[in-house]
């Protein structure tokens, strides 16, 4: 059981809840803050004070005063009118993350909702009821209005949810689970949809997956190093200590550990003085991406514990301030950076793939085929990798530099952070498939060496990989191989494959890895 308090959610806890289905509960102290904040809203409604979003309309309609008798109608109309997202739904993991992050934000006690709102969000999370939330339609300022409206819609028994593997009407699932649809009171609709939880949820899911893939990228690079008899001297710690980036040193240290005991890699001057950049600068390039990932984790951790709705209630209701914490710019900039960091892992991997298949750059048969000419071998595998990295370059264009005014020009600058988060996740999927192709090609190239000379750690990866994709015995439909290996890269098995025996396993948030 993980206790939420609106202040201390980490990426590690996020993973346990979203992917590990760890149960959650609110802290007593945070729920007391929530109840106190709610009383302030009740006082505002009772005294008929003019406060944005509680007794007024929204956006450009903020100058329209709402009668006390219409306050509940205001909230339900808000949810229904704003639930106009389009396109394919977010994954269930992202939907779970949105529930978690919205509950955690409300637990800060600045939003004025009743405790039952948070309890119901956590009910959904614990019971595996995942709102169907279309991916497109958010501008990323005024929060993720459209996506979060679809989430809020399910709390009142409307819209659809994923439950036990099926897409079903929310009303049916609520009955099945013995839950009553909520009736939203003053400010609660606005508090549910004003926030950055869609972009933050999708961004955090992308970061979690990229964290693992960054380690897989090192493993793929290590197999390629052996296949091409790469110069391991370039990974000497003195080189990387001299530059000063800790992440670069860490990558070099792990590369040395992966290749320890290999009779295939070479020393400087043994076969060549130095390798091409795609081999020689693995620590520099991979390390730079890792450094970016750590920055993004810092931003997302702040945002996961942020109050992002509007208005916010302070000092027991003495101060109710309309601000702009719903603006997604910090997250948008970070996720645009993450897109570039992810894309670069694929860019350098594709260059290593080219060195594996191009007979002008190695001593293997053309395209790793045993019967070149009659067979094309890995020729089009490199084409596919090239296509994916080219697509990544388009997706990596920063979404955050765009803005289109909305709400009759009241909301005249927006972040487009949710677009950035979606593109980021697509880049991560492309990276996964490029790395799968590098592993396939590296394993095939090693067939022309002596696999008995591989390092113990890379040999273990090779042996596992050969259970997923056999050696080439003629041309076949390699699409199936790519998808099988790409799926394997999501397997928890990699945690043990990449974990150094009796040593610390470095996650994205740091930690020492000894040889």
**DSSP per-residue string spanning 138-164:** --SSS-SHHHHHHHHHHHTT-SEEEET
For residues 51 and 65, give the distance between their C-alpha atoms in angstroms, rounded to a whole number: 9
Q: Looking at the predicted structure, is the pLDDT value of residue 501 above 70?
A: no
Q: Which residues contact 17 (CB under 8 A, 6 or more apart)?
A: 2, 24, 96, 100, 125
Q: What's residue 236's pLDDT?
A: 97
pLDDT digits (tens, 9 = 90+) for 141-185: 888 999 999 999 999 999 999 999 999 999 999 999 999 999 999
Q: Looking at the predicted structure, is the pLDDT value of residue 401 above 60?
A: yes
CB atoms within 10 A of CB 12: 13
Give yes or no: residues 163 and 300 share one domain: no
pLDDT digits (tens, 9 = 90+) for 317-354: 889 888 898 999 999 999 999 999 999 999 999 999 99
**pTM metric for this prediction:** 0.93
Q: Which band of pLDDT confidence, cut at 50, 70 and 90, is reported for residue 199?
A: very high
Is 513 part of any domain? no
Q: Assign residue 442 the CATH number of its domain.
A: 1.20.200.10
* 126 burial level (CB within 10 Å; 0-12, 13-18, 19+): middle
Give yes or no: residues 330 and 260 share one domain: yes
Residue ending a domain, among 149, 177, 195, is: 195
Q: Looking at the predicted structure, is the pLDDT value of residue 508 above 60?
A: no
Percent of the chain with pLDDT over 90: 79
* Three-class HEC string of 418-458: HHHHHHHHHHHHHHHHHHHHHHHHHHHHHCCCCHHHCCHHH
Q: Which band of pLDDT confidence, cut at 50, 70 and 90, is reported for residue 127?
A: very high
Is 244 part of any domain? yes
Q: Assign residue 171 the CATH number of its domain.
A: 1.10.275.10
Residue ending a domain, among 177, 195, 213, is: 195
For tokens 């806890």, name the residue: 13
Active-site residue set: 52
Is 504 part of any domain? no
Q: Looking at the predicted structure, is the pLDDT value of residue 60 above 80?
A: no
Give yes or no: residues 190 and 217 share one domain: no
Domain range for 229: 204-497
CA-based max dimension of the chain = 85
Is 511 part of any domain? no
Give yes or no: residues 234 and 381 share one domain: yes
What average pLDDT does range 242-252 have in this prediction?
97
Q: Are 96 and 161 in contact (CB under 8 A)?
A: no
Give yes or no: residues 174 and 225 share one domain: no
Give yes or no: residues 215 and 184 share one domain: no
Q: What's residue 403's pLDDT?
A: 81
Phi-psi sector, 90: left (phi>0), alpha (psi -120 to 50), beta: beta
**Which among 189, 160, 186 is positioned nearest to 173, based on CA atoms?**
160
Q: What's residue 354's pLDDT?
A: 98
Q: Give the lowest-confidence range in 228-237, 384-393, 492-501.
A: 492-501
Give yes or no: residues 304 and 329 share one domain: yes
Q: What's residue 515's pLDDT?
A: 37
Q: Looking at the predicted structure, is the pLDDT value of residue 284 above 80?
A: yes
Give yes or no: residues 232 and 154 share one domain: no
Q: What's residue 460's pLDDT?
A: 96
Q: What's residue 144's pLDDT?
A: 93
Distances (CA, A) of 114 to 31, 44, 188: 9, 14, 8
Q: Are 13 and 210 in contact (CB under 8 A)?
A: no
Give yes or no: residues 215 and 277 share one domain: yes
Give yes or no: residues 128 and 172 share one domain: yes
Is 505 part of any domain? no
Give yes or no: residues 177 and 229 share one domain: no
Give yes or no: residues 220 and 185 share one domain: no
Q: What's residue 512's pLDDT?
A: 36
What average pLDDT does range 448-453 have in this prediction?
95
Phi/psi of residue 107, nearest 5 degrees: -70, -10
Mean pLDDT (the chain) is 92
Number of compact structural domains in the chain: 2
Q: For 228-310, where are the alpha helices, taking DSSP H only?
A: 237-243, 246-258, 277-280, 282-304
Is 477 part of any domain? yes
Q: Which band of pLDDT confidence, cut at 50, 70 and 90, is reported for residue 65?
A: confident
């Amino acid at each position: 059981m993980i206790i939420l308090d609106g202040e201390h959610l980490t990426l590690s806890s996020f993973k346990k809840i979203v992917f590990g289905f760890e149960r959650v509960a609110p802290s007593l102290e945070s729920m007391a803050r929530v109840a106190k904040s709610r009383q302030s809203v009740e006082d505002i409604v009772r005294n008929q004070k003019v406060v944005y979003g509680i007794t007024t309309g929204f956006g450009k309609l903020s100058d329209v005063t709402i009668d006390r008798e219409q306050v509940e109608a205001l909230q339900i109309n808000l949810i229904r009118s704003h639930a106009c997202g389009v396109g394919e739904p977010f994954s269930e993991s992202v939907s779970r993350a949105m529930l978690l992050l919205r509950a955690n934000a409300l637990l800060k006690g600045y939003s004025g909702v009743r405790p039952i709102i948070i309890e119901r969000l956590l009910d959904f999370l614990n019971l595996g009821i995942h709102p169907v939330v279309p991916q497109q339609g958010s501008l990323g300022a005024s929060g993720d209005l459209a996506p979060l409206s679809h989430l809020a819609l399910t709390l009142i028994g409307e819209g659809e949810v994923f439950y036990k593997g099926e897409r079903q009407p929310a009303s049916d699932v609520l009955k099945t689970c013995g839950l009553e649809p909520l009736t939203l009171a003053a400010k609660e609709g606005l508090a549910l949809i004003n926030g950055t939880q869609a972009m933050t949820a999708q961004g955090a899911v992308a970061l979690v997956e990229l964290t693992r893939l960054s380690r897989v990228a090192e493993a793929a690079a290590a197999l390629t190093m052996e296949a091409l008899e790469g110069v391991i001297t370039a990974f000497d710690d003195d080189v990387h200590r001299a530059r000063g980036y800790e992440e670069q040193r860490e990558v070099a240290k792990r590369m040395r550990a992966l290749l320890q005991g290999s009779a295939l890699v070479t020393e400087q001057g043994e076969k060549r003085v130095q390798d091409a950049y795609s081999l020689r600068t693995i620590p520099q390039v991979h390390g730079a991406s890792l450094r970016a990932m750590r920055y993004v984790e810092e931003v997302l951790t702040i945002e996961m514990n942020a109050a992002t709705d509007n208005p916010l209630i302070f000092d027991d209701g003495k101060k109710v301030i309309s601000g702009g914490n719903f603006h997604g710019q910090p997250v948008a900039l970070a996720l645009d950076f993450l897109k570039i960091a992810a894309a670069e892992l694929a860019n350098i991997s594709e260059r290593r793939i080219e060195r594996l298949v191009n007979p002008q750059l190695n001593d293997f048969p053309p395209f790793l085929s045993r019967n070149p000419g009659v067979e094309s071998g890995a020729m089009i595998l490199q084409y596919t990798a090239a296509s994916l990295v080219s697509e990544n370059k388009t997706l990596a264009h920063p979404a955050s530099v765009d803005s289109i005014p909305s709400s009759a020009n009241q909301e005249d600058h927006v972040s487009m952070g949710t677009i950035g988060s979606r593109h980021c996740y697509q880049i991560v999927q492309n990276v996964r498939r490029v790395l799968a192709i590098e592993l396939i090609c590296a394993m095939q190239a090693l067939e022309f060496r002596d696999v008995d000379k591989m390092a113990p750690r890379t040999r273990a990866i090779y042996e596992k990989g050969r259970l997923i994709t056999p050696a080439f015995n003629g041309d076949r439909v390699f699409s199936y191989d790519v998808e099988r290996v790409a799926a394997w890269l999501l397997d928890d098995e990699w945690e043990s494959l990449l974990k150094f025996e009796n040593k610390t396993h470095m996650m994205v948030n740091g930690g020492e890895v000894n040889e």
